[in-house]
Amino acid sequence: MKITTFYLVICSLLTCTSTKTAKTLKTQTMHLSGTYSIITLNGETNLISELSLTFNDSTKQVSGYSGCNRFSGSYEVSEDSLKLGPLASTRRACMPKYNNIETRMLETLSKINAFSFHEGNLVLKHDSSNLITAKKITTRLSEYSINYSALTRGSYLNYTIEKGKIFSQNQRGAKPVEKFISDEERVLLEKAIQSIDLNSLNELEPPTKAFQYDGALAATLSITHNGTQYKTPVFDHGSPNAAIKDLVGIVLEIAQRK
């Protein structure tokens, strides 16, 4: 009897441990951060526009391109459930065929209440019905050039990351100081870039505007990818928009590393 009881206790502990481990693994893997290219919309694969979604787990903001306009809004995640919106969209006029796919895209997003990953792709669902399949866009630091500058009449900072190095200037006209980016720093930078919707950089509102009266250095962040430069409006050094806060923080930390 004692032996049987002992085995039952052991089995119970193993089951609990296994369940906790499974839940932990699920929580670790079910994160959304990154930019995705939509490959199917309600089963349709021959899409006339390059539809996209960008999730930022730090700010819980989603944005993307719906065929004609860009959209953005908040999202909530609980295990494998997902709630998007409300979503706000720009109001650019387009040809009817692009308006049509945009309408279908936004209507579909409003129905999403769950998600999963299948064969490396993100699947957005309504209950058990698959509505959108999207492929995550891989970010490689070597494909990007990042510049952060901050200045007032008496201060100057300029940091550029490209070709595996950071080039730092702390005075106007000074020769840039070069440092190599470590593998750990590269991974952090790639993760931060992946959580940014590059096409929305020029629309980011600065949280504060002390730079307008020299109360703070006037800062900008620009990211160049495939020959196209994406740049933020001016913001206070030390107070970036939440969407770029992680990337700015990493750039500054690398620049200040001895």
Residue 174 corresponds to which amino acid? A
pLDDT at 87: 94
Please tell me whether residues 93 and 168 are part of one structural domain: no
For the segment 73-130, what is each residue's pLDDT rounded down to a tens digit? 999 998 889 999 899 999 888 999 999 999 999 999 999 999 999 998 999 999 999 9
Please tell me whether residues 91 and 147 are part of one structural domain: no
For the segment 211-223, what is each residue's pLDDT rounded down to a tens digit? 999 899 999 999 9
**For residue 176, how many C-alpha atoms fall within 13 Å in the half-sphere facing its CB?**
14
Does residue 192 fall inside a structural domain? Answer: yes
Does residue 8 fall inside a structural domain? Answer: no
pLDDT at 30: 61
Please tell me whether residues 246 and 168 are part of one structural domain: yes
**Which of 94, 109, 136 is a domain's end point?**
136
What is the Cα–Cα distance from 72 to 86, expressed in whole angstroms?
A: 8
In terms of residues, how long is the chain?
A: 258
What is the Cα–Cα distance from 167 to 160, expressed in whole angstroms?
A: 5
User: Is this structure's pTM higher than 0.85?
Assistant: no
What is the Cα–Cα distance from 148 to 142, expressed in whole angstroms?
A: 17
What does the pLDDT average to over 241-252? Answer: 96
Does residue 19 fall inside a structural domain? Answer: no
Question: What is the CATH classification number for the domain harbouring 205?
Answer: 3.30.1560
- The Cα-based distances of 57 to 138, 180, 187, 220, 239 in angstroms read 17, 28, 17, 23, 19
Specify the number of domains making up the chain. Answer: 2
Does residue 21 fall inside a structural domain? Answer: no
For the segment 17-57, what is each residue's pLDDT rounded down to a tens digit? 444 434 433 443 468 889 999 999 999 998 888 899 999 98
Q: What's the domain range around 204?
A: 141-256
Does residue 229 fall inside a structural domain? Answer: yes
pLDDT at 178: 96
Please tell me whether residues 184 and 120 are part of one structural domain: no
Quick one: DSSP state of residue 242? G
